Structure 1
């Protein structure tokens, strides 16, 4: 029984770094389920208790299971969720669930996903990683905004939002990604409810 518990704990520890970046909540859930069924230890935790399953208002989690797909946004409500998603998932600490913007991070930072994890585990946020590499953090923000702005353009083109509203959503999206990139590990994540009346 002790061997099974040890093996299950090892499997969980290997899966957690993946879940931490929002790569796969399913991996954390599967590992946790395995641990729970093979052991009745009081150290077993659900993904939420381990800090990997919480959500944000609007349903975004910063990872594939909870994020709004940029290319499928067809309503203003989904756009509001997308902006909230841009803030990242606070339960994932400095990682904030970077899976939805991983391609931007890879392109701008020019380091491997594994190296990014090493730096974040050492306490660097995205802005610190960029600065350490000689890159202006604004480049990260601009790249993330460009990736998500496609949804704003779609709703503008189909008449769901006006040009003025599109400009405000774009500004709000930049604010959200600026928060994500420069997050100090302390500030509470704002709740985005849409455009002010």
Structure 2
């Protein structure tokens, strides 16, 4: 019985992060729930501490810590940004997660990738598994990588416009945030698989 529970936990640890990175967090959570239920049903002595650790393993939050959907698993929704702190967090999130491989977790930008690259999700994975970053994929398809960066920036920049419109930031600060957002997505698109992810903590005062 212990072997079944151990196998379920191992499978869970392998499947959930990948599923979350690809925008299938809900399906992964559902599969996790059924796996946990199945493991519990096979065992007459369910250890409650094991169950709680299994449940928490479905939390794949990244920068953003569960502040809405649309910015990635646990990420910030662009349309919900109302403070400068959230904007800073959104820009940090634009760099992506190195632990998720070359695509750095493309859930928050999947629509843009579909529109600009015009290839299937599966083909993108095949290319990245072969060692191509987003810039290389774009170039292979005859697309200027800057076109992809610009499209990604356009997806996130409404958060800057919102704070500018309500007076939270001024035009000069908005321009600086826009430049920081472009830097973040440029890094993401051209990431070589090794360079450390920069930390964005806000504008220099």
TM-score using structure 1 length: 0.79
Structure 2: how far apart are the matches of 1:76 and 1:12? 34
Over the aligned positions, Cα root-mean-square deviation in angstroms equals 3.5
Specify the SS of the correspondent of 1:94.
coil
3-state SS of 2:62 partner: coil
Look up the match of 2:119: 111
- The residue number in structure 2 matching 1:69 is 77
Give the direction of change, closer, same or farther, for the CA distance of 1:48–1:124 in structure 2 (3 Å limit). farther
How big is the shift at 1:63?
5.5
Contact 1:20–1:92 (8 Å) recurs in 2:
yes
Contact 2:71 2:77 in 1 (8 A): no
Which of these residues, 45, 62, 74, is aligned with residue 55 of structure 1? 62
Structure-2 separation of matches of 1:11 and 1:85: 25
Give the gaps of 5 or more residues in structure 1. none
Structure-2 residue corresponding to 1:143: 151
Q: Which moved more, 1:172-181 or 1:116-125?
A: 116-125
Question: Is 2:91 the counterpart of 1:90?
Answer: no
Q: TM-score, normalised by structure 2?
A: 0.76
* 2:21 is the counterpart of 1:20: yes
Over 3 Å counting, the alpha-carbon distance change for 1:48 and 1:120 in structure 2 is farther
How much has 1:159 moved relative to structure 2? 0.7
Larger Rg: 2
Equivalence map 1:178-193=2 (5 Å): 178-193=186-201
Instruction: Tell me: CA distance 1:11–1:168, structure 2 relative to 1, closer, same or farther (3 Å).
Output: closer
Indicate if the aligned counterparts of 1:88 and 1:97 stay in contact, CA closer than 8 A.
yes
In 2, the alpha carbon distance for the partners of 1:162 and 1:122 equals 44
